[in-house]
């Protein structure tokens, strides 16, 4: 990733922050894109000092088309282009479907699916002009399989998986690759509200016998973003400890 410019949405915590750190370690310049009220600015300041001025923060709400457009315009202006994007911003959502109101359902869809499209669209516009680039969308194991009480989330992530295929077909003739990554249950702040019995239940779903670590998903993103994946497009790389291996 030497001398490459990378944007990571949802980059202020969890998988996103781990991906920022891995890209910096591999020589990239990285934009942490996250909400204004996130810890993105403080993380960027600390990482910028550690990595020779190669990390910066841009406030961006992926539900706002204007903010997404500004993120890419400013990144191009300051870094000269966008070589890779981790389209990672998202939220969870667990509730019985008969109790989910329109507002909550649409909020999950707007961030986890529409937001992914807004970022993808802006990324492709830049990458098409360059004639190169790698876009990686964050899907999920629940983009491939259903789960009780997660109708909105699974609908959004399933949409991300199939959107990735369609975008990859469109983008390939223009020199741009589009892939997705499908994390299993990862040990991030999103799981902090769960009790120990629930955590142990999640662990039991993974044949490898533990939850994933954020840096393990980051390594998957790093591969898909890099030139080492030059013949890989339109796929979803599962980083799930074997969760999906025994399901069909």
CA angle in degrees (0–180, nearest 5) for 205-98-95 = 40
At 211, list the tokens.
Answer: 């939850």
- Spot the catalytic one: 57, 86, 153, 185: 153
At 17, list the tokens.
Answer: 């922050």
Q: Where are the alpha helices (DSSP H) in 172-244?
A: 196-204, 214-225
Mapping DSSP to helix (H, G, I), strand (E, B) and coil, where does residue 241 land? coil
Residue 128 a catalytic site member: no
At which residue do the structure tokens 């790093």 appear?
A: 222
CA distances from 212 to 95, 139, 185, 215, 223 (A): 24, 15, 6, 9, 17
Helices 14-25 and 214-225: crossing angle in degrees, nearest 10, is 50
Helices 14-25 and 40-50: crossing angle in degrees, nearest 10, is 20
At 37, list the tokens.
Answer: 């009220």
* Residues 6 or more apart in contact with residue 109 via CB below 8 angstroms: 152, 155, 156
Q: Closest Cα to residue 55, out of 28, 74, 77?
A: 28
Distance CA 33, CA 222 (A): 17
* Residue burial 132-150, b: 16+ Cβ < 10 Å; e: rest: bbbbbbbbbbbbbeeeeeb
Catalytic residue positions, numbered: 153
């Amino acid at each position: 990733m030497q001398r490459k410019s990378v944007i990571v949405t949802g980059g202020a915590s969890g998988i996103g922050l781990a991906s920022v750190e891995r890209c910096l370690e591999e020589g990239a310049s990285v934009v942490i894109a996250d909400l204004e009220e996130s810890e993105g600015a403080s993380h960027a300041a600390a990482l910028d000092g550690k990595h020779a001025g190669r990390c910066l923060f841009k406030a961006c709400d992926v539900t706002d088309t204007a903010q997404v457009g500004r993120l890419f315009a400013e990144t191009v202006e300051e870094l000269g282009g966008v070589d890779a994007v981790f389209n990672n911003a998202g939220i969870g959502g667990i509730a019985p479907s008969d109790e989910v109101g329109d507002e909550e359902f649409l909020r999950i869809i707007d961030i986890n699916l529409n937001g992914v499209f807004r970022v993808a669209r802006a990324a492709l516009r830049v990458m098409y002009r360059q004639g190169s680039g790698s876009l990686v969308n964050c899907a999920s194991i629940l983009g491939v399989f259903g789960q009780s009480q997660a109708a909105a989330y699974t609908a959004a992530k399933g949409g991300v998986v199939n959107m990735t295929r369609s975008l990859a077909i469109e983008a390939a003739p223009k020199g741009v690759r589009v892939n997705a990554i499908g994390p299993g249950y990862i040990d991030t702040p999103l799981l902090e509200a769960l009790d120990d019995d629930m955590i142990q239940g999640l662990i039991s779903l993974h044949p490898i016998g533990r939850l994933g670590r954020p840096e393990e998903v980051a390594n998957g993103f790093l591969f898909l973003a890099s030139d080492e994946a030059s013949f890989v497009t339109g796929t979803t790389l599962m980083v799930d400890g074997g969760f999906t291996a025994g399901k069909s």
